[in-house]
Amino acid sequence: MALARRFSASGPDIRFRQIGRNEASAFPGFCNQHDTQIFEPLDKRPLDPTDQEQLFLLAYRGVSRELHATMSAASKIQSVHVFRVEQSIDPADQLTPVGMKALEQMLFSFTTWQYRDRHYDEALRTRDFTGITHEVLTLENQRPALAVSSFISLDDMRPGDPNFPGVAVNILPVTDDTTLAIFSYARPIAGKVRSSLDRILTASGDRQKYELSKLIIARTSNFIVAPTHFRAWSADKVERLERSAVESVVASRDPEEHQDLMLF
């Protein structure tokens, strides 16, 4: 199950939808040749949480996925804007909410590309992975429940600022009772990132999982929930999670405290 985000002229439509295994694990941003070439050290070897190359590639995949998603969203919203103008729903010579949203999404996409270009692309070419640092959390006694591959900003993103507090977030089960949560970020912004993530990094047990869940709901755009785990949730819990995700987009606010926000 995926918390799929769709946008239209009527606003965001964010809800859990069932998707197939191949769709959940596939990333269409690279052709098969380059995807194989870039991620072979990650895909062809067991994950070692001390391997700096593998951690870098996990983060690079998350950043690239988000860049692809923002570019796709910008194109779709711009198409909605053009359609509304052509149908005389919106004026062509005035600012409109949809037109502003399209421009905002384009700037967001451009700034995400700048971030990847500055902090990741050159490092990938030179195989120098020291510019990205990682916080690896081990969630013990945790059966496989969800996976995340995403890239988020911990603060408002200023267009044209490639040093915004961007963090690649990866959560993946590694055994039947252990899941890893990995935060990856550029060293120049380490202080701001660690301060923003303090409630997660310094917590433990269920409290850490709860704080991590709130971050996932409010900030990430790509996470998958195991179907068996999802089926154990009540309808009220699902509705609250979907509503919290919508509010995070529309009102840019974190979800209110509630036990139903626990994803694990």
Q: What is the pLDDT of residues 90-114, one digit of tens each?
A: 999 998 988 988 888 898 899 999 9
**The pLDDT of residue 135:** 97
Neighbouring-strand partners of residue 179: 139, 173
Which three-class secondary structure string do you get for the chain?
CEEEEEEECCEEEEEEECCCHHHHHCCCCCCHHHHHHHHHHHHCCCCCCCCHHHHHHHHHHHHHHHHHHHHHHHHHHHHHHHHHHHCCCCCCCCCCHHHHHHHHHHHHHHHHHHHHHHHHHHHHHHCCCCCEEEEEEEEECCCCCEEEEEEEECCCCCCCCCCCCEEEEEEEEEECCEEEEEEEEEHHHHHHHHHHCHHHHCCCHHHHHHHHHHHHHHHCCCEEECHHHHHCCCHHHHHHHHHHHHHHHHCCCCCCCCHHHCCC
**The pLDDT of residue 22:** 59
Query: How many whole angstroms separate alpha carbon 148 and alpha carbon 151?
Result: 10
Would residue 79 count as lying in a domain? yes
Total number of domains constituting the chain = 1
Burial letters 64-81, b for 16+ CB under 10 A, else e: bbbbbbbbebbeebbebb
pLDDT per residue as tens digits for the range 13-46: 788 988 776 565 556 678 888 888 999 999 999 9
Would residue 58 count as lying in a domain? yes
pLDDT tier at 48, thresholds 50, 70, 90? very high
Q: At how many degrees (to 10) do helices 32-43 and 52-86 cross?
A: 140
Mean pLDDT of the chain: 89
pLDDT, average across residues 102-128? 92
pLDDT per residue as tens digits for the range 50-88: 999 999 999 999 999 999 988 888 898 899 899 999 999
Tokens of 128: 């120098």
Query: How many whole angstroms separate alpha carbon 166 and alpha carbon 148?
Result: 16
Question: Which residues span the domain enclosing 52?
Answer: 31-261
Would residue 164 count as lying in a domain? yes
Would residue 1 count as lying in a domain? no
Would residue 23 count as lying in a domain? no
Estimate to the nearest angstrom the gap between the alpha carbon of 109 and the chain centroid: 13
Q: For residue 223, is pLDDT > 90?
A: no
**The pLDDT of residue 28:** 67
Query: How many whole angstroms separate alpha carbon 204 and alpha carbon 177?
Result: 16
Would residue 224 count as lying in a domain? yes
Residue with tokens 């915004």: 164
Among 2-16, 41-55, 164-178, the minimum mean pLDDT is found in: 2-16
pLDDT per residue as tens digits for the range 228-261: 999 999 999 999 999 998 888 776 677 889 999 9
Neighbouring-strand partners of residue 184: 134, 168
Would residue 17 count as lying in a domain? no
Among 58-67, 169-178, 215-224, the minimum mean pLDDT is found in: 215-224
**The pLDDT of residue 77:** 87
Question: Does 7 or 62 have the greater pLDDT score?
Answer: 62
Query: What percent of the chain has a predicted confidence (pLDDT) above 70?
Result: 93
Find out whether 191 and 207 touch, Cβ atoms under 8 Å: no
Would residue 25 count as lying in a domain? no
**The pLDDT of residue 23:** 60
**The pLDDT of residue 9:** 56
